[in-house]
Amino acid sequence: MMQVTLTMKPRAKPFLPIEAEMIVPMNFIGSRELFVWEGNKKRRLEDVFTVRKEGNVNSPENIVVILRGDTGRVKRVGEYMSSGIITIEGDIGMHCGNFMRGGNIVIHGNADGWLGREMRAGSILCHGNAGDYCGSGYRGEKRGMRGGKIEIMGDAGDYLGEYLTGGEIHVHGNAGMFAGAEMRGGTLKIDGDVRIPAANMSKGTCIIGGVAHEMLPTFEKTGEKNGMVVFHGDVANKGKGELMIRQVQENSALQ
């Protein structure tokens, strides 16, 4: 095993974003110099973090990278990662786990937007809340997350799982509006409440354990299963998605 601990140093301009896609386990094999971007300046990893390495291994699956300190502005951690573990003790910035292909990311605080964007495989566990566009795609792209698993113990923001194409997202708390919009595969499970779920979905399964507010008029009720109402849609398109809801908000202003 090898453990790499990255502790954020105090910064003159603490609000500047840091782009750090090089923080993936594989990059800590050997001793090549790593760089991150702070605003428009390229910095050595050591200028931004105190780096401590313990152990020495040859393959990334035996590497644990720990991020410590004020990492809420650090973006793209774990981008394209294929194996190993990243543990974030606090909050993490946007695009954590982008294009992830394997391995595990564990976030003990909150994650900012685009967590697990366009992820292919592996798993992300976030103990806090996730921002907007968790498990989504990129602007203009027709596919979001395609595989793997994202689990959020807290709440998720808006556009959760937009264009979800494969894999599974499970949110234990509530989600914002337009969860599962444009879904075309995979499973989206929200234990709490949502607004306007599964808009324009074409395939996949969306399960809402709480209350669905502002439910769309274009889902066809087809039965009940496990105490949940089952809908098919979205019939605004030729959607063949499945939407299961514990409780549809009654007397909605919008129905």
Partner 1 sequence: MEDKIRHVICPYCGCLCDDILIEMTGGEISGVENACTLGARKFLDDAGNRLKGPIMRKGDEWVDISYEEAIDYAVKVLSEADRPLLYGWSGCMTETQAIGAHLAELIGGIVDSTTSVCHGPSILAIQEVGHPGCTLGQVKNRADTIIYWGSNTIEAHPRHLSRYTNYADAYFFHNAFRERKVIVVDVRKTVTAEIATEFVQIDQGGDYHVLSALRAIIRERGGVIPDMVAGVPKAQLIRVAEICRQAKFGALFFGVGITMTGGKYKNIRNAIEFISELNRYTKWTISPMRGHSNVYGSNEVFTWISGYPFAVDYSRGIAFYNPGETTAVDILARKEADAALIMSSDPGAHFPRVCSEHLARIPTILFDPYPSATTHLCTLQIPTAVNGIDAAGTAYRMDGIPIMTRRFMETVYPTDTKLMQEIYDRIRKVKEDA
Partner 2 sequence: MHEILIKNAFVIDPIQGIHGDIMDISVRDGRIVDKVSGTCEVIDAGGNLTLPGGIDSHTHVCGTKVNFGRYMSPEDMRAGRTPRRGAMYHTSGYTVPTTYGNSYRYSKMGYTTLLEGAMAPMEARHTHEEFAATPMQDMLANTLFDGNWNLFEAVGDKDIRQAAAVIGWTLSAVRGFGVKLTNPGGTEAWGFGDDLSSIDETVPNWDITPRDIIDTSIKACEFLHLPHSVHLHCNNLGMPGNYRTTLQTLDIPSDLNPDRQTLYLTHVQFHSYGGSTWGDISSEAEKVASSVNTKPQVVIDMGQVMFGRTMTMTADGPMEFRLYTLHHNKWSNHDVELETGSGVIPVYYSRKSPVNSIMWAIGLELALLVKNPWQCMLTTDNPNGAPFVKYPEIIGLLMSNLYREKELDQVHKLTTDRTSLGTIDRELSFEDIAVMTRAGQAKALGIIDQGKGHLKEGALADIAIYPVKPDQTDPSLQYEEVIGAFQQTLYTLKDGFVVNRDGEVIRGIPNRTFWVNANLPDDMDVMKSPRFVEKFSRYYSVDLENYMVQDDYVERGIEMNTHVA
Instruction: Give me the residues that bind partner 2 (CB under 8 A), please.
Output: 138-142
Record the tokens describing residue 251, joined without a space: 């007397």
Site mask, partner 1, residues 159-178, x = CB under 8 A? ------------------xx
Contact by Cβ (8 Å): 132, 155: no
Question: Least Å distance between CB 130 and partner 2?
Answer: 23
Q: Are strands 35-38 and 18-19 parallel, antiparallel or unpaired?
A: antiparallel
Start-to-end CA distance of the chain, whole Å, equals 57
Q: Which of partner 1, partner 2, none sits in contact with 196, Cβ below 5 to 8 A by type? A: partner 1
The residue within the footprint of partner 1, chosen from 79, 91, 182, 242 (CB under 8 A), is: 182
Query: Does 32 help bind partner 1 (rule: CB under 8 A)?
Result: no
Nearer to partner 1 (CB atom), residue 14 or residue 55: 14
Nearer to partner 1 (CB atom), residue 7 or residue 218: 218
What DSSP designation does 255 have? -
CA angle 104, 106, 110 (to 5 degrees): 140
CA angle 131, 98, 37 (to 5 degrees): 90
Query: Does 13 help bind partner 1 (rule: CB under 8 A)?
Result: yes
C-alpha atoms less than 13 angstroms from C-alpha of 96 in its C-beta half-sphere: 33
Question: Least Å distance between CB 42 and partner 2?
Answer: 12
Q: Which residues pair with 2 in a beta bridge?
A: 63
In the complex, the residues that contact partner 1 under the rule CB under 8 A are 13, 15-17, 19, 37-41, 94, 113-114, 132-133, 138-140, 177-178, 181-182, 196, 199-200, 214, 216-220, 233-238, 253-255
